[in-house]
Structure formats: structure tokens, C-alpha cells
Amino acid sequence: MFFLQFKLLLFVGILFCSAHCSAYPRLFGGESSGVGGCFVLMAEPVSFLYSPIAIGDIKETTLGTAFDNKFLVKGLSTSAVVIAVPITQNFISALGYSRFGSSVYAVNHFAVGGSKSLTEYIELGVRFDFHSETYGNDDRSILKYSAAIAAKYKFSNDLIAAVLVNEPFSYINNKPPVKPYSDRSLHIGLSKKSQKLQLGISVDMPAAYQPEVTIGIIYFSGLKFKLFSGVSTGPNVFSFGFGYSNDRWAFSTSSSYHPHIGFSPSTSLIFSFDKSDN
């Protein structure tokens, strides 16, 4: 009986943290999770649900899917799909959907936005979100909306600085049964790339918590394979994974490890409908 109560308490605690501590969990998608959630290194379509400039380098219509699980706990999983479409040479639009949770708690997240190169050096991304949230057997859905804006500055092709702001939720109808933490957050990052390596560092400043530092690294093998790893201070999480890509599709898988709660695996699959000119 005690063990059952302990498991229930642990599940509720993890669920509460996953659902309310951050509107956009950092560890999401195979490669993005593998670099510890360092937003300045994110380049997967599904990462648009976290940072709108993640789609800025996409050159053709691309479909991205991902599956993410928290701490190997049944019910703490997210499935997502994002399609990114270049409208012009300098503007990429995106439409995305994700679902998190189980019969106890669930969130449906719809997102629309895009990323535009304003100049040779400056890129701006915007995303608008709509969320439908349900609790247990309560038939009422809690509807809310939010937004994010991000900017990237290219000092050169190898050195990039970026900033991301996630704005807090605004409730359309019912209030949640528990008071959520503030969802506003500011992220500042820097990325440096060489022929074989790309290193990124970000300082994440959630409104309700202490600043966190995330460091991610990607190693390019030159054989269409790449390895990635990352570490974060809030909480102390280590991540690792690998990816493979060709002209039309890419696959990546990774896992993050929390010293007290365990592993959180993530997988992504990306497909490009038009063959890249590169």
C-alpha cells in the first residue's frame, strides 16, 4: 500500500512539474533533446514548437514528427508533428500540433508562425499558440493562448547569437484547478561551428525559477552521421544521442538522464518533399 501511494505521489509530482513548470519543455525531439535543449542549436521542424527560428534554415517543404517520453513513466509522453513550408526565399512558414499527457491530464497544442530573414545577418521568428487542457474526468476544457518571438544575429556563417522570449498563457475560459507558475521565459544563446563540431551555450531565465545554463555540442562525422550531447544545470541533466540523414529524410534519437528520476528518450523523423539543391 505504501509503495502504491509513493508511486502515485511520484507520478503526480512529475506530471505537475512537466505540465506547469514550463510551457515549452526544453527536452523535445531527438536532436534537440540530445543537445540538452540548447535552443540556439535547434534545427528540427518539431523544435518550432519551442523556438520559431528553429525552422530558419529549411530550404524545402519539410515534415517533422517526434515522440518524447519523460522518465519512462507511462502517460508522460508527447507526440508532435510540424510541417514547414518556404513561402519565399527569405520566409518559412510552419504549422504544428502536439499532444502531451494521459487520461489524468492532457494538453493539445496548436501552433502557427514563421521565420523571416530581414537582412543578411538578422533573422526574426514568431509563433502563436492555442492550447486545450483537460483534467481527469472533468468534461470542461481549459482554453488558453500564448506566443513566442525569437531573433538570430549572424556574425558570420560560423558564429551566431540568438534570443528567445516565450510569453505567458492567457486563459480564454475556465481557470485550471491548480495555480500554474508563470510561463514567461527569456533565453539567450551563442553558437560556434567548425568543420566537424558545433558548440552552443544558452542561458535560460524562467520567470519563476533561477537562471539555468545549457551547453550542447554536435559532432559531424562526414558520413551522414552525427553525434550530439548536452548538459543542463536546471535541473542537472545529461543528454546524448545520434542522428542520420540523406537528401530526403533524417532520423535522430537521444535520451536525457536525470540522476534521481532516470531516463527520458526522444525520437524524431524528418522528411523533405523536394530534393534539396545542396
**Does position 125 have pLDDT exceeding 80, yes or no?**
yes
Residue at 46 is within a domain: yes
Handedness of CA 14, 20, 22, 28 (dihedral sign): positive
Residue 178 lies in a domain: yes
Q: Residue 185, class by beta-carbon neighbours within 10 Å (0-12 exposed, 13-18 middle, 19+ buried)?
A: buried
Q: Could you tell me if 115 and 127 are in contact, meaning their C-beta atoms sit under 8 angstroms apart? A: no
Task: List, for residues 237-260, the tens digit of each pLDDT value.
Answer: 899 999 999 889 999 999 999 888
CATH number at residue 121: 2.40.160.40
Instruction: Scan for cell 513561402, then name that residue.
Output: 87
Contact 252, 229 (CB under 8 A): no
pLDDT at residue 56, rounded to an integer: 93
Distance CA 200, CA 153 (A): 14
Determine the Cα–Cα distance for residues 127 and 149; give it in Å rounded to an integer: 6
Judge whether 130 and 143 are in contact, CB under 8 Å: yes
Identity of the residue numbered 28: F
φ, ψ for residue 248 (rounded to 5)? Answer: -115, -25
Number of structural domains (the chain) is 1
Beta bridge partners of 142: 133
Phi/psi at 158 (5° precision): -105, -15
Beta bridge partners of 60: none
Q: Which residue has the higher pLDDT, 151 or 22?
A: 151
Q: Quick check: is 104 in a domain? A: yes
Structural domain includes residue 245: yes
pLDDT for res 208: 67
Span of 13-27, 61-75, 103-117, 225-239 with lowest mean pLDDT: 13-27
Q: Considering the domain boundaries, does residue 277 fall inside one?
A: no
What would the pLDDT profile of 57-104 be if each residue is shown by its tens digit? 999 999 999 999 888 887 788 899 999 999 999 999 999 999 988 777
Asked if residue 173 is part of any domain, the answer here is yes
- Boundaries of domain holding 40: 2-272
Q: What is the pLDDT of residue 183?
A: 65
Residue 278 lies in a domain: no
Q: Please say if the pLDDT value at position 166 is more than 80.
A: yes
Of the candidate ranges 34-38, 92-96, 172-176, the one whose mean pLDDT is the lowest = 172-176
Contacts 24+ apart (CB under 8 A), 115-121: 115/52, 115/53, 115/54, 115/55, 115/56, 115/91, 116/90, 116/91, 116/92, 117/56, 117/90, 117/91, 120/154, 121/153, 121/154, 121/155
> Would 66 be classed as within a structural domain?
yes
Supply the DSSP symbol for 40: G
| Residue 77 bridge partners (DSSP) | 69
